[in-house]
Amino acid sequence: MKKKLNPSRRKFLRNTGLAAGYFSLSSPLTGQILPNKDPSTHYTGTDQAPNRVKAAFAEGDISPELGMEQPGNYGKQYHRSFHDPCKVRIAAFQSGQNKVLIVSLDALAVYRPWVDEVKRSIQEKGGIDAEKILVSASHSHSSGPTAMVQPGQYDRSDAFIQQLAYSQSSCADPTYLKQVKDITLTTALRALENLRDASLGIGSGREEKVAFNRRFRMKNGRTFTHPGQLNPDIVDVAGPIDPEVGVIGSWDAEGKCMGCLVNYACHTTTNPGGISANWVYYMEQTIRGAFGSDCVVVFLQGASGDVTQVNNRNPNVNPSGEEWARLVGASVGAEVVKTLLLLPRASHVKIESKQLILPLKRRVPTEAGVRESLQLAQQSPEQVGKTNWIFAKETLLLDSWGRQNPVHEVPLQVIQLGPAVLAANPAEFFCELGLQIKSESPFPSTFPVTMANDCVGYVPTREAFGPQGGGYETRLTSYSNLEIDAGPKIVAASLELIRQLAPGPIPEAPRAPNFQGRPWDYGNVPPERGQVL
């Protein structure tokens, strides 16, 4: 486990060349600065890949109807207003015979049976191997009903469990799932049909003022999630943030920015009011303000399991949902714009994809916990307290589902785009785990993509389950229940996949010619003092 740093020591290391060695980051070659270490620098490298890269971007509207369920929070809630469209956003890339398709949905979560259906349909009609397709969710809490209880999931359970699952829990809508599947297929085919010569730029910016770790060590020796703004019992923050804004931009032959991939670690929980892509909407608006309304923005959620927009140490009143969404989205978007404008580009980029299935065991509640939960759930929330009732319900649902399905086959996937690699897993992954993948990856740019190809709920660090751990993310629910060592195992397996790939060269900016001729005639004169009248 890496040594913990106090804030002043961390800032000093971040601002010096010592940081790369301390955090076990890949050392740059002489004269190079790696893209996910300093976004403001043009990078060196030689473009030697043999195949010209092709790219295409497309998007489709997957907004739910008013009255449909708003996902999350373990209970029923419904959309009553509309703020902005929820979208499926797709990027397609090809180099030689190798193609990859990256699908991002403005959705809370996607689940593997549905994801596999989507991938098969794209493979059948689009001619791309299903293993080369990545499907991820932005984790928007203001999106449509793709999560949490899935259609038919509890059909083998008894009547009381079915009633708790289907009538008292947040549920996916079969009609909406089909709608999203159909639109995703149509949008994917449009992208695959429009692949054309392109160049790619890869790098990153830094935004550290809008995302905060929500877990805190308290005076009682435990760790709380969202202990409350300015709680005097807070001792210290219990985890890091990841301020890196990963960016992969694509330009057509005329130099127009076709679209970009953006990777950033922050819950999409700003909820500006009504149906919405959440703060991703304002990020998109900011980027399009610089590059045009045709620029498609594909957001890939980073390792944000314990990171949100909420600053529990903020001395000021927090903004409204609308203001918060604009603040986070525009701040991240502005960093994307700056990064894109500085990126050197390459027209020959190696593309590859690999995946594996990692079997992980579930944690299930104790028999005593099930008995106690049954007594609570048979009463009303008003009698026993809403929170107690919700997690009693969740205990019973997990006991039923988990014992029928004691192992979860977790899909992991990596996609290489030249010197960058996307490392995808289906968890609400703790930020520290994502940073570990970055620090041990051999790639200059490593972007963890979470909530991808399935959903397994929260995956905390090992320490979160220790004597001084705790907090919301460690609760046993039907949503989050993987074994305690799931985090380290996903990190190790992801790195194993990444190491099967060889990083491509870093794009370099064209070099200026040697000085020839003479200085600018307007400026090559001595001072002219003149005279004062």
What does the pLDDT read at residue 235? 98
Q: Which residues, including other chains, have CB under 8 Å from residue 129's CB and lie 6 or more apart?
A: 99, 123
Contact 107, 68 (CB under 8 A): no
What does the pLDDT read at residue 73? 86
What does the pLDDT read at residue 43? 32
With a cut of 70, list the residues of the chain below it in pLDDT: 1-50
The maximal CA–CA distance of the chain, rounded, in angstroms, is 101
**Cβ-based neighbour number of residue 18 at 10 Å:** 11
Measure Cα distances from 239 to 7, 172, 210 in Å. Answer: 12, 32, 16
* Pair of tokens at residue 430: 């703790």
Q: Which residues, including other chains, have CB under 8 Å from residue 481's CB and lie 6 or more apart?
A: 362, 363, 364, 398, 402, 457
* Pair of tokens at residue 23: 């955090």
Where does residue 192 fall: left (phi above 0), alpha (psi -120 to 50 degrees), or beta otherwise?
alpha
| 21-39 confidence digits (pLDDT tens) | 322 333 332 223 333 333 3
What does the pLDDT read at residue 375? 97
Question: How buried is 406 (Cβ within 10 angstroms: 0-12 exposed, 13-18 middle, 19+ buried)?
Answer: exposed
Determine the Cα–Cα distance for residues 268 and 308; give it in Å rounded to an integer. 8
Determine the Cα–Cα distance for residues 202 and 420; give it in Å rounded to an integer. 7
Determine the Cα–Cα distance for residues 27 and 9; give it in Å rounded to an integer. 20
401: helix, strand or coil: helix
C-alpha angle with apex 76: 75 to 82, nearest 5 degrees?
Answer: 125
Measure Cα distances from 110 to 51, 134, 256, 387 in Å. Answer: 34, 12, 32, 26
Where does residue 223 fall: left (phi above 0), alpha (psi -120 to 50 degrees), or beta otherwise?
beta
Contact 525, 447 (CB under 8 A): no
Helix axes 279-291, 321-342, angle to 10 degrees: 40
> Is the sign of the CA dihedral 5, 8, 9, 12 positive or negative?
positive
Contact 450, 303 (CB under 8 A): yes
Determine the Cα–Cα distance for residues 380 and 377; give it in Å rounded to an integer. 7
Q: Among candidates 214, 195, 228, 236, which has minimal Cα distance to 93?
A: 195
Determine the Cα–Cα distance for residues 64 and 476; give it in Å rounded to an integer. 30
